[in-house]
Structure 1
Amino acid sequence: MSIAMAVGVSAGSVPAAPGPVVVDRVVAVVNDEVITMSDLQRESLKRPAGTDQRLTLEDMIDRKLQMVAAKRNGMEVTDRELADAIADIMKRNSMDNKQFEEALAREGLTLEQYRSEFREQMTMSRLFNKFIRTGLSVDEKEIREHYDRNLGQFTLPDEIRVRLLVVTVPEKASSDQIEEARDKATALMVRIGKGENFIHLIRENSGSPTAAQDGDLGFMQRGHLIPEIEDAAKDLKPGQYAGPVKAADGFYIIRVEEVRTPVKPFEKVKDEIQKMLYEQKMENTYRAFLQSLRSEAHIENKL
């Protein structure tokens, strides 16, 4: 668009220019305000590289609508409030005016640019608190219902409970001693196969300290057992046996007693769920609020 066109003068009424003169292009109209390409480009510089300019423009439109709503509801930030807020920031960061302006310059901002952006942030925060946060809550019933419906989200790694009979071999055992222990473990497996009581066999034959607990290792998280037991038990179902399994201290006969997938207790995750549900409500309320502002506004997106 030429300057002549921008000011509404016909091309024939002005002298011919040496070449076309381009003015800033309007990329959006929001009620009686415009967003120009240079506005959009400046805003795009604040976004991660590769951000779609159309999304950036939509955000800018939403911000303009919110600023209008804030003004309409008497939420504008006064110069005194802005100055006090900036003074508080400088105080908390132990900066004087010069140091503060130097810090802004390192971020590519002038003091006036910062004041303008910070005023907008303060205004938007007021608007958000009044129209979005006010009245939002999540009660215990909602939290419990979400927990019960989504137990799979709160599971912990599988735990396995095994019972162990160990036919031990002495340290620095000879090959004959190792074979003798292997033969004994094999014979015990045969007896188990014939239906003998495993716990009785553990009490009579296991050389492990776990024999005092009838070989019961208790529940342990998968991956926390010694590799020999872990490998032998990984595909077993409760009640199934594996062995003899050679290990450093002898030969193991293993029975899987139980496998379970524990779930985090409700009390442990209640706060986490409450926060998540609150944020969901806040997001939904915010989107509905923006939609209502858009429905009442005149918007032209020219990008």
Structure 2
Amino acid sequence: MRRGLHIALLLAIAAGGHSLHAQATGGMAGAVVLDKVVGIVNGDVILESDVQEEMHFAHLEPIGVPTGSDSLQRAMRRLVSRTLILQQMKEQQQSFGITDAEVTKQIEEMRKSLPACKEYDCTTEDGWKKFLATNDLTEADVLTHWRQRMQILKFIDVRFRTGIRISSKEISDYYEKTIVPSFTKSGTQPPPLDKLSSRIQEVLLQEHVNETLHDWLKALRDEGSVQVLDPAYGQSSGSGTDTEEDD
């Protein structure tokens, strides 16, 4: 019941269109600012601070960071998708133990290859700390975020890779239609198919997983309740269901 009252209070804040400031009483000093609710996914609340944090985490991705309203909307779409996946993991009682050593190893690899890290030389501790400070991140934030990311990827791998079979014809077609023309265009001889077969299989497998995941997430959105309460964070239909697709 307390949780229900808490959600009702947050919804009231969102309906007001601004954050609620609770003045100090009973020894509290200053004002306490409660987050504005900007979305609800099957009862789970997404706060304005969640979106801001997600925008900071975008600096860890090997692609350009969007700016303006586009960055808000992309961050919201990622949060919605992640929330839907985490809800399914909980419902299906799927948990994956990831050790600190595994997370640290991946983060170290990311520090070596992340384009945005080059100007800071993130391979050094000083450079890494400067990069984090510039993007309003902490090492603890990154560790927690990356661990959850790895858990989600494991869930996706188990949930969608199982049962997918890539035929020899698919591999040969990809080689002839994609690999060979690419090498021909550059004026070089392509390696023989048998040398690239395993790599092509992995690429095709990932494509199948991505397609299946995309359709699965869309079905979860359609079947559930995904509401964006502030137009700045995305488009909503008349019923309040987010119609934007995930990136």
Q: Deviations over 1:90-130 (max 9, x none)?
A: 7999xxxxxxxx9997743264x456434522431332122
Letter in 1 for 2:158: K
1:86 — aligned with what?
A: 100
1:42 — aligned with what?
A: 53
1:129 — aligned with what?
A: 157
TM-score normalised by the chain length of structure 2: 0.56
* Alignment coverage as a number of residue pairs: 174
CA RMSD between the two structures: 3.9
TM-score normalised by the chain length of structure 1: 0.47
- Unaligned runs of 5+ residues in structure 1 are 9-20, 94-101, 159-220, 222-261
Letter in 2 for 1:123: Q
Identity of aligned residues (%): 23
Task: State whether residues 14 and 37 of structure 2, in contact with CA within 8 Å, keep that contact through their aligned partners in structure 1.
Answer: no
Q: CA deviation at 1:33?
A: 0.9
Tell me, yes or no, if structure 1 residue 153 matches structure 2 residue 158: no
Distance 1:152 1:103, change over 3 A: closer
Task: State whether residues 31 and 297 of structure 1, in contact with CA within 8 Å, keep that contact through their aligned partners in structure 2.
Answer: yes
**Does the residue aligned with 1:46 lie in a helix, a strand or coil?**
helix
Higher radius of gyration, 1 or 2: 1
Q: Aligned equivalents of 1:7 and 1:147: distance in 2?
A: 53
2:200 — aligned with what?
A: 273
Larger helix proportion of the pair: 2
Greater shift in the superposed pair: 33-42 or 271-280: 271-280
Task: State whether residues 41 and 226 of structure 2, in contact with CA within 8 Å, keep that contact through their aligned partners in structure 1.
Answer: yes
Question: How does 1:92-107 map onto structure 2 within 5 Å?
Answer: 107=132
1:72 — aligned with what?
A: 91
Q: CA deviation at 1:152?
A: 2.6
Task: State whether residues 37 and 47 of structure 2, in contact with CA within 8 Å, keep that contact through their aligned partners in structure 1.
Answer: yes
- Which residue of 204, 208, 221 maps to 1:294? 221
- Unaligned runs of 5+ residues in structure 2 are 1-8, 16-31, 59-64, 109-125, 234-247
**Does the residue aligned with 2:224 lie in a helix, a strand or coil?**
coil
Letter in 1 for 2:83: K
Task: State whether residues 156 and 263 of structure 1, in contact with CA within 8 Å, keep that contact through their aligned partners in structure 2.
Answer: no
2:71 — aligned with what?
A: 52
Q: CA deviation at 1:76?
A: 2.9
Q: Aligned equivalents of 2:190 and 2:153: distance in 1?
A: 38
Distance 1:276 1:38, change over 3 A: same
Q: CA deviation at 1:145?
A: 2.5
1:182 — aligned with what?
A: none
Distance 1:118 1:288, change over 3 A: same
Letter in 2 for 1:286: L
